[in-house]
Amino acid sequence: MAVTSSVAGRSVSAPARAAWLDVFRGLTMAAMVVVNNPGDWNNVYWPLLHSKWDGWTPTDLVFPFFLFIVGVSITLSRRSASWGSILRRGTLIVVIGWLLALYPSFHFAHLRIPGVLPRIGVCYLFAAAFYKLTASRRDQGRWMVIAAVTLCVVYWLIMTQVPNPAGVRGDLTPEGNWGAYIDRALFSGHLWANSKTWDPEGLLGTIPAIATPLLGIAAGLWLRTERSAGEKAAALAAAGVLAVAIGYAWNPFFPINKALWSSSFVFLTAGFAAILLALLVRFPLPAPIARPFVILGVNAIALYAAAALLEETMIHFTVTGAGGQAVTLGEWVFAHGFAPFAPPKIASLGYAVANLVVLFALLAWMYRRRIFLRV
């Protein structure tokens, strides 16, 4: 990981960037913090919860939006220029994810091997490698789309047409789908703690997840052309609408499902991401509104790590509550600082927003000091 800074006697500014890139990323990261940190999980507005299985909510867009912008970023980054930098960056993302998963107990025997950052790291590795392999082709964007479609079709056929070890074809239940069987065979004891028998970021589901940054690369290549902002945005929005339509058309045959990262989910979410990106390109936010999201977006890795550390600290460290009972630090803060002053759902949302404000203060300080964490 590299840290660029103006401290220590040398001034290194952030690289020149497209404003919409960091605004998009900042919006996504802000949403991530809010949905991950309610004060009370029993009192959360439905748009801020993941779909229980099939279907989708606005919260289910956060992770694929981030992967989509990973793909767009690949087309704008010099760090994808060499095989060494691609391997180093992807590996660092995975390792950072594992280190965050170990905090604060560092029980390696129960380390969750799959996870959000490990999936991002693997998706980046494959997407950046394919981008480099096809760099000499004039129709590179088309190859990205072809590869994405191929991955989604292959995954669809495996999940719906190949009988699982129990002899059942098309089992898409949490514990009966092919991905769950593979994860139990390879990562037993190292899966998502909430299930222990399957993982929403499992190995097989990473195959279609790679398609998401590939589609992001196709969008980034289009945005690098010499066409006007209006032409770029119009075509990107049209492609987004088409992708959403494909997602819904595929849904009856392979349901939209974030935990499975189903092929229909890939196209639905990439379509929405393309539409939002088109809007940001065509109608840039005024500087005072965009600036907070740029601050969050330009230091996304720092924000992700800080958010994860804050969340785990609030969950795992305890203080003495009412009646002398031990409660988590998060429960104590919510009970004394939020619950008494608002209805349950508003108080729960207020706690989540307060987490974002605290993290924004840290990121704003880093931004003013010109401190940028890179991998």
pLDDT in tens, the chain (375 residues): 655 544 333 333 333 457 899 999 999 999 999 999 999 999 999 999 999 999 999 999 999 999 999 999 999 876 567 899 999 999 999 999 999 999 988 989 889 999 999 999 999 999 999 999 999 988 999 999 999 999 999 999 999 999 999 999 999 999 999 999 999 999 998 999 888 899 999 999 999 999 999 999 999 999 999 999 999 999 999 999 999 999 999 999 999 999 999 999 999 999 999 999 999 999 999 999 999 999 999 999 999 999 999 999 999 888 877 777 888 999 999 999 999 999 999 999 999 999 999 999 999 999 999 998 887
**Same-domain pairing of 40 and 61:** no
Within 10 Å of residue 271's Cβ, how many Cβ atoms? 23
Distances (CA, A) of 292 to 70, 142, 177, 189, 357: 20, 35, 41, 40, 11
The answer on 291 and 257 residing in a single domain is: no
Same domain, 291 and 280: no
In the DSSP assignment, the letter for residue 283 is: S
Measured distance CA(112)–CA(77) in Å, rounded: 30
Query: 30: closest CA among 48, 52, 3?
Result: 48
Q: Are residues 280 and 296 in the same domain?
A: no
| Under 8 Å between Cβ of 78 and 2 | no
Structure tokens, 233: 């945005």
Longest dimension (CA), the chain: 70
Query: How many Å apart are CA 126 and CA 128, to the nearest integer?
Result: 6
Other CB atoms within 10 Å distance of the CB of residue 363: 23
Q: What domain range is 5 assigned to? A: 1-49+287-375
Q: Do residues 181 and 218 both lie within one domain?
A: yes
State how far the Cα of 139 lies from the Cα of 130, in Å rounded to an integer.
13
Same domain for 169 and 314?
Answer: no
pLDDT at residue 105, rounded to an integer: 87
What whole-number distance in Å separates Cα of residue 297 and Cα of residue 363? 9
Q: Are 6 and 109 contained in the same domain?
A: no
280 and 302 part of one domain: no
Cα angle at 144 between 142 and 150, to 5 degrees? 105
- Chosen domain end from 218, 250, 284: 284
| Same domain membership, residue 83 and residue 188 | yes
Domain boundary, last residue among 215, 249, 284: 284
User: Both 313 and 233 in a single domain?
Assistant: no
Domain count of the fold of the chain: 2
Beta bridge partners of 237: none
Domain end position, chosen among 235, 253, 284: 284
Q: Are residues 181 and 231 in the same domain?
A: yes
**Do 211 and 248 belong to one domain?**
yes
